[in-house]
Structure 1
Amino acid sequence: MALAYLLASEDARLVGVASTAGNVPVDVVCSNNLGLLALCGAADIPVSRGSDRPLAIPLRTAEDTHGPLGLGYASLPDAGSELTSYDAAEAWVRAAREHRGELVGLATGPLTNLALAIREEPALPRMLHRLVIMGGAFNYGGNTTPVSEWNVSVDPEAAAEVFRVWGAAWGLEQPTHLPIVLGLNLTENAAMTPSILSRLAAAAGSATTPMSVLDDRGTRSAAANPLIRVLEDAMRFYFEFHFDQGEGYLAHLHDPLAAAVALDPDLVRYRRAPIDVELTGTLTRGMTVADWRGTWGKPPNAHVGVEVDPDAFFDRFIERVGPFAAGLA
């Protein structure tokens, strides 16, 4: 969904995709990225393989949430294209050097690759124009443990390293260049529903059958449009997961919202704060902590998203992705 939004946005030029292990193993992620880009007529965008494990702990994946291949019930065409000869960490560094001062970085998974990129090029934080991170939960419950969000929980050491290094690189000198961090407290407001999906299909000019909680599990999309069909099949699995969790027949669009904010930060209201990740707590490992009152005596190292208008986001998503999908038919 996030990639489709970026590809559909005329104000964005996607210069590379760094595949991140997390929801599923990294090689599956690579295949998904290549397949989706091929479906969208963007097979020339380079895709790089990231680390197959976090910095310090074994990898955990989330097939129960996103399906065995990370795409729910959706299937993608064989891409017919290859990964880059360099890994995802080097992809970050190459892109930052080539587009110094212009590159907007978007991290929608565990921060392993970004942390490794910073180790390779310590000046990376000062080379980017903006960094948007989907991760964490601020004054809000977690979705992995009672206090930890999934992306941070998969590799808390990487998240802690990125927050620390980025803050040290900019600090009070250029607060506008601090990373934008969008946690569950913000992204769970962007709840996709069957009715919104139906609006997307209509905007693509694609006939489809509206989804319902009464449908048989695994019912496949009837959409004629190939991209809408993939998105609906992916979303159905995600709807079913949320329904089983007692959250309703819906899906939280964490990453697409982050993609929208990467292009237009004004979609969200923020609070600046020093943030860090708990690494040693028996019950709180992976918790993202924001020092709103300045108790630590440290300068802010992030703009933390605290408010969003989900209707404005979904309107923009449909306005962009609908016509883009129509052009693929």
Structure 2
Amino acid sequence: MSTPLLVDVDTGIDDSLALLYLLASPEAEVRGIVATAGNVPVAQVATNTLAWLDLCGADDVEVALGAATPLTIPLRTTEDTHGPYGVGHAVLPPPRRTTSPQSGAQLWIDVARAHPGEVTGLVTGPLTTLALAVRAEPELPKLLQRIVVMGGAFGHPGNTTPTAEWNISVDPEAAAEVFAAFSGLPAGRRPVICGLDVTETIEMRPEHLRLLAVRSGSAPPELLSPDDPPTVRSRASNPIVRHLSDAIRFYMDFHRTHDQGYLAHMHDPFAAAFALGRVPVTMRPATVDVELAGSLTRGMTVADWVGHWGREPNADIVTATDPVAFFEDLVERVGNLARTRGSAAIVAG
């Protein structure tokens, strides 16, 4: 069965792999993509997104510009994590088209109205554009089938502050508005939150990329090593593998310099896999809110698991998964995409 999707990204490195995974998945019916400022400024998010779509032959997917700044605070970006342009060391071909004339918030509304009760919203960046869409169309939570959010941390250290995860911390007010707006939905329609508790178990290592390249038919072998000098770049014959490898190399180096090992946490591809029902998970319902006033805890996602607040659950939080199964699926699918689309790109070029 197909899964209609509206995807809201702030295309950095893990968003890039999430996009490739969705494009590689036959059941993913991407009805549109919203580019929201986060990892990099909004124009660069859109450029990265369009470039990946072009490279993969998906130039029919509408991409709309979302919010350029958070609701009430200045934008912070994270080029130290994702590189100066958001895609690590990759130098993607310039996109052959531009963004849609309509706004990202309007795309959320139009897609949901056109297919009421069918579309899953997948958000792998800040929730700013979705919050703006809900302000313009308060019925949006009921028009969507559900939303899947990569964000937050529950009983787990933050990756931006001691208590806050990046996507939520960029725009805590937007996250609080979204979680409030999506309250009152029944089980099966509540937002699903994929927080750091689970996504930091999704550790991509050099062997995963090597296997992906093998499946694509790329040569020479794609071998990343922490001993490589910073000037090393992929020589892969397959352009998708080459650009993906150069992006991920930067991400692995970032994690290594922050004492996490030579690996890359693939937060956003996991959320994409969940949205398609491709990965086994354990979930728990909770009432989720966002701390907005704490001098030490601003941006923290707080989950009431047992009803202290006297409010019904407004989210289902993913608490466990199977990283091995996830990577087996991702390597197969993205490797197949690279084999077919990458070869076509070589011929076209």
> What's the TM-score, normalizing by structure 1?
0.97
Please state if 1:177 is matched with 2:200: no
Please state if 1:93 is matched with 2:104: no
SS of equivalent residue, structure 2 residue 334 = helix
CA distance in 1, matches of 2:187, 2:183: 9
Please state if 1:35 is matched with 2:51: yes
Decide which moves more: 2-11 or 93-102. 93-102
Match for residue 308 of structure 1 among 303, 315, 321: 321
Match for residue 205 of structure 1 among 199, 214, 217: 217
1:120-156 deviation per Cα after TM superposition (whole angstroms, max 9, x unaligned): 1111111111210000000100000000000000000
SS of equivalent residue, structure 1 residue 299 = coil
* Alignment-mate amino acid for residue 86 of structure 2: G
Please state if 1:281 is matched with 2:294: yes
CA distance in 2, matches of 1:179, 1:228: 33
Instruction: Compute the displacement of 1:266 (Å).
Output: 5.5
Instruction: Compute the displacement of 1:205 (Å).
Output: 1.1
Instruction: Compute the displacement of 1:265 (Å).
Output: 6.8
Match for residue 186 of structure 1 among 198, 206, 221: 198
SS of equivalent residue, structure 2 residue 121 = strand
Q: Determine the structure 1 residue equivalent to 2:138.
A: 122
SS of equivalent residue, structure 1 residue 167 = coil
Q: Determine the structure 1 residue equivalent to 2:166.
A: 150
CA distance in 2, matches of 1:103, 1:223: 37
- Answer yes or no: is the 8 Å Cα contact 2:279–2:326 preserved in 1: no
- Answer yes or no: is the 8 Å Cα contact 1:73–1:218 preserved in 2: no
SS of equivalent residue, structure 1 residue 13 = strand
* Count of aligned pairs: 325
Q: Determine the structure 1 residue equivalent to 2:308.
A: 295
Instruction: Compute the displacement of 1:267 (Å).
Output: 2.3
SS of equivalent residue, structure 2 residue 100 = coil
* Alignment-mate amino acid for residue 114 of structure 1: L
Q: Determine the structure 1 residue equivalent to 2:27.
A: 11
Please state if 1:113 is matched with 2:126: no
Q: Determine the structure 1 residue equivalent to 2:182.
A: 166
SS of equivalent residue, structure 2 residue 28 = coil
- Answer yes or no: is the 8 Å Cα contact 2:147–2:190 preserved in 1: yes
- Answer yes or no: is the 8 Å Cα contact 1:270–1:307 preserved in 2: yes
* Alignment-mate amino acid for residue 147 of structure 1: T
> What's the TM-score, normalizing by structure 2?
0.92
Decide which moves more: 196-205 or 148-157. 196-205
- Answer yes or no: is the 8 Å Cα contact 1:218–1:236 preserved in 2: no
Match for residue 234 of structure 2 among 196, 221, 228: 221
Instruction: Compute the displacement of 1:293 (Å).
Output: 1.8
- Structure 1 segments (4+ residues) deviating >6 Å: none
Q: For 1:226-265, what aligned pairs fall within 5 Å after superposition?
A: 226-264=239-277
Please state if 1:59 is matched with 2:75: yes
Provide the aligned C-alpha RMSD in A. 0.9
Q: Percent identity?
A: 53
- Answer yes or no: is the 8 Å Cα contact 2:279–2:325 preserved in 1: no
SS of equivalent residue, structure 1 residue 177 = coil
- Answer yes or no: is the 8 Å Cα contact 1:187–1:252 preserved in 2: yes
Instruction: Compute the displacement of 1:218 (Å).
Output: 3.6
CA distance in 1, matches of 2:253, 2:79: 13
